């Protein structure tokens, strides 16, 4: 059985840990509200852009002059996986669930004989992927020095991805991130952004028999819209990640705080029993000595 001093030191240590987890929980709760508002505010713009893209792509289908970002390279040999995670831990299984989804896709693609390249956004994604797939990582970035994620960071990543596509370094790009559903639910999500396709469930707007006339034509609009679409999708993923990270962190720290409290109660009970046993032993020794006299 541990000594009284060891138990006392351990109780003090767990109490210190509990204070840290409680503080982290409160910080995450404060940040979550702003992050959730930002993620939800970005969704209508993204969804509307997806609807416009669905309408334009339907009009441009079969056009030999359609942009490569829409029609693709004509090949499906090389895949780029953009894995966006958080820069910090202490947020439960948030980071590992995104990485797990990316790993499953890597295994599937390699099993089909495809070439896989990886771009990581966030320290935790790179730290987990480098163990098995470090040779596949062609670019990595993190925003640990950035106080607040903005569109400039998303555009920086998009410009890098678009430059790689223009150079013929990949045929298909898929973005991995955690979609915020609620405080207790963050869903790992994979979205193909190059060639651009309308996500499932997104249909062109119902024109009720009306016909759109584009000025300039669909191809010129798509040439301007598609690079913006890639940036917007990455920006949305970053905002969803921030909200999901704070929600997962709040939940994880709440669980850790409650577990610390239960551990303190258990250790305190063990400490009191050990102390009582020691007092009883000392009394027996005193009584035995008195009787011997």
- Higher pLDDT, residue 222 or 178: 178
Mean pLDDT for 56-69 is 67
Indicate if the pLDDT at residue 57 is higher than 70: no
Angle at 154 between CA 152 and CA 157, to 5 degrees: 110
The two three-digit tokens of residue 37, written as one number: 């508002």
Say whether pLDDT at 67 is over 90.
no
* 257-268: pLDDT as tens digits: 999 999 999 989
Q: Which two tokens stand for residue 117?
A: 């390249």
* pLDDT value of position 63: 65
- Residue spans of the domains in the chain: they are 36-248
Give the number of other Cβ atoms within 10 Å of residue 56's Cβ.
23
pLDDT for 285 = 78
- Whether 217 shows a pLDDT value over 90: the answer reads no
- On the question of pLDDT at 41 being above 70, the answer is yes
CA distance 293 to 289: 7
Cα separations in angstroms, 36 against 104, 142, 178, 180, 190: 28, 21, 13, 8, 20
Amino acid 203: pLDDT: 58
What is the percent of the chain where pLDDT is above 70?
Answer: 87
**Alpha helices for 182-217 (secondary structure H):** none
Percentage helix, strand, coil for the chain under 3-state DSSP, each rounded to 5 = 65, 15, 25
Residue with tokens 């040439």: 223
Rounded to whole angstroms, the Cα distance separating 161 from 84 reads: 13
DSSP bridge pairs for 185: 182
Distance CA 133, CA 85 (A): 16
The tens digit of pLDDT for each residue in 108-132 reads 999 999 999 999 998 888 888 988 8
Give the model's pLDDT for residue 207: 59
**Is 36-248 a domain of CATH 3.40.1380.10?**
yes
What is the overall mean pLDDT for the chain? 84
The pTM of the full predicted model, rounded to 2 decimals, is: 0.81
Alpha-carbon distance of 174 to 165, in angstroms, equals 12
Residue 202 has pLDDT above 60, yes or no: no
Residue 31, token pair as written in the block: 């940040």
Residue with more model confidence, 284 or 254: 254
Nearest to 170 by CA among 76, 103, 70, 234: 76
Q: Please state, in angstroms and rounded to a whole number, the distance separating the CA atoms of residues 252 and 25.
A: 8
| Cα separation, 158 vs 286, whole angstroms | 80
Annotated catalytic residue, options 11, 35, 39, 91:
91
Q: Based on the residue annotation, tell me whether 91 is a catalytic residue of this protein.
A: yes
Q: How far apart are CA 226 and CA 53, in angstroms?
A: 8
Q: Which position has the higher pLDDT, 264 or 64?
A: 264
Of 256, 245, 238, nearest in space to 183 by CA: 245
**Tell me, what's the pLDDT at 108?**
92
């Amino acid at each position: 059985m541990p000594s009284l001093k060891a138990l006392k030191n351990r109780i003090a240590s767990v109490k210190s840990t509990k204070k840290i987890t409680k503080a982290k929980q409160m910080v995450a709760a404060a940040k979550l509200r702003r992050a959730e508002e930002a993620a939800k505010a970005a969704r209508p713009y993204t969804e509307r852009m997806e609807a416009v893209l669905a309408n334009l792509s339907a009009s441009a289908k079969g056009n030999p002059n359609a942009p490569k970002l829409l029609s693709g390279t004509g090949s499906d040999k090389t895949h780029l996986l953009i894995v966006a995670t958080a820069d910090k831990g202490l947020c439960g299984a948030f980071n590992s669930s995104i990485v797990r989804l990316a790993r499953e896709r890597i295994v599937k693609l390699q099993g089909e004989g495809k070439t896989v390249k990886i771009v990581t956004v966030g320290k935790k994604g790179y730290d987990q992927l480098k163990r098995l797939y470090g040779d596949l990582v062609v670019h990595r970035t993190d925003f640990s020095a950035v106080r607040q994620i903005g569109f400039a960071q998303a555009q920086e990543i998009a410009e890098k991805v678009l430059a790689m596509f223009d150079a013929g370094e990949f045929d298909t790009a898929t973005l991995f991130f955690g979609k915020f559903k609620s405080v207790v639910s963050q869903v790992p999500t994979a979205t193909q952004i190059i060639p651009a396709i309308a996500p499932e469930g997104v249909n062109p707007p119902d024109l009720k028999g009306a016909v759109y006339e584009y000025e300039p034509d669909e191809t010129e609009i798509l040439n301007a819209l598609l690079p913006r679409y890639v940036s917007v999708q990455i920006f949305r993923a970053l905002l969803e990640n921030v909200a999901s990270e704070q929600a997962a962190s709040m939940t994880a720290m709440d669980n850790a705080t409650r577990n610390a409290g239960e551990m303190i109660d258990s250790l305190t009970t063990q400490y009191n029993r050990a102390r009582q046993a020691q007092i009883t032993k000392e009394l027996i020794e005193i009584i035995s000595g008195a009787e011997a006299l």
